[in-house]
Amino acid sequence: MIEADSLSDRIMVIVKGEITAIGTPLFLKNFYGKGYRLSITCDANNSEVVVERIQKLIPAAKLIDSSGGNLFFLIPFSETNTTMKKFLQLMETNENNKFSKYNKLKSKINDWGISHPTLEEVFLRLTKSEDEV
């Protein structure tokens, strides 16, 4: 799927002989993806505090995986202009900003990143049969 994502101009998904979706990789990710992935790395003993504060800062954030200080959240696309903006401002500004109550959160995060859903996730979502739901 990584090759298809990077080399294809358009992708067609066919399920049981019928065209389910067609478009550019970015279109498919935006249209069929559930949201952005926020990955955070912190010390394992701080992970509960980080999860709690992320969910206060971004109420729609859903923790999808947690192991050994690596946290993965799903953030709906609808949150990008509102609460996701607060998170980005917090992480990209200096310590003395208007989000001072969240500065403790910033000090507990070692690394973070945001990414689109993968083409593989989109493909699995499109090909999932209703029997599996």
Residue 133 pLDDT exceeds 50: no
Q: Which of 62, 69, 10, 3 is nearest to 36 (CA)?
A: 62
pLDDT, one tens digit per residue, over 2-61 is: 888 888 899 999 999 999 999 999 999 989 988 889 999 998 888 898 999 888 888 889
**DSSP 8-state assignment for residue 58:** S
The tokens of 95 are what? 């310590």
What is the pLDDT, as a whole number, of residue 129? 60
Tell me which residue has tokens 């993806």.
33
**What are the boundaries of each domain within the chain?**
1-33+118-133, 34-116
Residues whose CB is less than 8 angstroms from the CB of residue 30 and which lie 6 or more positions away in sequence, other chains included: 77, 116
Residue 112 pLDDT exceeds 90: yes
**Which architecture, in CATH terms, is 34-116?**
2-Layer Sandwich (3.30)
pLDDT, one tens digit per residue, over 85-98 is: 778 877 877 655 55
What is the pLDDT, as a whole number, of residue 3? 84
pLDDT band at 132 (very low <50, low <70, confident <90, very high): low
